[in-house]
Chains A and B, each alone.
Chain A
Amino acid sequence: MADSIVSLQHVEKWYGENHVVKDMNLEIPEGEFITLLGPSGCGKTTTLRMIAGFEDATSGIIMVQGERVEEKEPYQRDVNTVFQNYSLFPHMTVFDNVAYGPMIRKAPKDQIKKRVEEMLGLVQMSGYEKRKPDALSGGQKQRVAIARALINNPRVLLLDEPLGALDLKLRKQMQLELKHLQKKLGITFIYVTHDQEEAMTMSDRIAVMHGGNLLQVESPAEIYNHPNTRFVADFIGESNIFFGKVVRVDGDMLSVETAQGRMLTKGSGFAQGDEIFVSIRPEHLQFADTASEGFELPGRVFDQVFIGTLHKTTFRTAGGKEIKASRIDADPGLEDGLERKLFWDPGQSVAIHPTPEDKQEAGK
Chain B
Amino acid sequence: MTEGHIQEQKKEKARRKKSRLPMLAQAGPVSIWMILFVTIPLLFIIYISFMTRGPFGGVVYKFSLDSYKTLLDPIYFTVILKSLRVALFTTVLCLLLGYPFAYYIAKQPPERASRLIMLLMIPFWTNSMIRLNSWMLFFQTAGPVNNLLLKLGLIQKPIMFLYTDPLVMLGLVTGMLPFAVLPMYSSIEKLQKNLLEASADLGANPSVTFRKVTLPLTMPGIVSAIILVFIPSLGTYTVTDMLGGGKVLYIGNIIKNQFGSIRNWPLGAALSVLLLAITALLIFLYTRFARVDELEVV
Contact = CB atoms under 8 A, between A and B. Distances in A.
Interface stretch (A72-80, A232-240, A339-347): A72-80
Contact of B202 (A85, A91, A101, A167): A101
Interface in A61-110: 73-75, 79-81, 83, 85, 87-91, 100-101, 104-105
A89 B201 CA distance: 13
A90 B201 CA distance: 17
Interface stretch (B24-32, B143-151, B190-198): B190-198
A253 B26 CA distance: 80
A136 B179 CA distance: 35
B201 A80 contact: yes
A75 B216 contact: no
Interface residues of A, number: 24
Given A54-B200, A91-B294, 16 more contacts: A52-B201, A73-B200, A75-B200, A75-B202, A75-B203, A81-B201, A89-B213, A90-B217, A100-B202, A101-B202, A104-B202, A104-B204, A104-B212, A105-B203, A149-B202, A152-B203
Interface of B: 2, 4, 192, 194-195, 197-205, 208, 212-213, 216-217, 294
Contacts of A88: 198
A148 interface: yes
> Which secondary structure characterizes the binding site on chain B?
helix
Q: Which of B202, B203, B217 has the most CB of A within 10 A?
A: B202
A105 B202 CA distance: 9
A87 B201 CA distance: 11
Nearest to A105: B203
A152 B194 contact: no
> Which secondary structure characterizes the binding site on chain A?
loop
Given A91-B216, A91-B217, A167-B2, A85 B199 contact: no
A89 B195 contact: yes
A79 B200 CA distance: 11
B47 to A, nearest CB: 44
B201 A104 contact: no
B202 A148 contact: yes
Given A104-B208, A167-B2, A89 B203 contact: no
Contacts of A75: 200-205
B217 to A, nearest CB: 6
B189 to A, nearest CB: 16
A69 B294 CA distance: 40
Contacts of B205: 73, 75
B223 to A, nearest CB: 13
Interface in A213-234: none
B197 A54 contact: yes
Contacts of B212: 100, 104
A74 B200 contact: yes
| Minimum-distance CB pairs A-B, first 6 | A74-B200, A87-B198, A101-B202, A87-B194, A167-B2, A75-B200
Given A91-B216, A91-B217, A80 B197 contact: no
A81 B199 CA distance: 10
Given A100-B202, A104-B203, A167-B2, A74 B197 contact: yes
29 contacts: A73-B200, A73-B205, A74-B197, A75-B202, A79-B201, A80-B201, A80-B202, A81-B197, A83-B194, A83-B197, A83-B198, A85-B194, A87-B192, A87-B195, A87-B197, A87-B198, A88-B198, A89-B195, A89-B199, A89-B213, A90-B217, A91-B216, A91-B294, A100-B199, A100-B212, A101-B202, A148-B198, A152-B202, A152-B203
Nearest to A148: B202
A101 B4 CA distance: 34
Contacts of A81: 197-198, 201
A99 B226 CA distance: 31
B199 to A, nearest CB: 7
A104 B202 CA distance: 8
A74 B197 CA distance: 8
A161 to B, nearest CB: 13
Contacts of B208: 104
B2 to A, nearest CB: 5
Contacts of A91: 216-217, 294
Contacts of B199: 89, 100
Interface string A133-160: 0000000000000001100100000000
A74 B205 CA distance: 9
A321 B2 CA distance: 36
A90 B208 CA distance: 17
Nearest to A77: B201
A320 B64 CA distance: 100
Contacts of B202: 75, 80, 100-101, 104, 148-149, 152
Contacts of A54: 197, 200
Contacts of A74: 197, 200-201
Contacts of A105: 203
Contacts of A80: 201-202
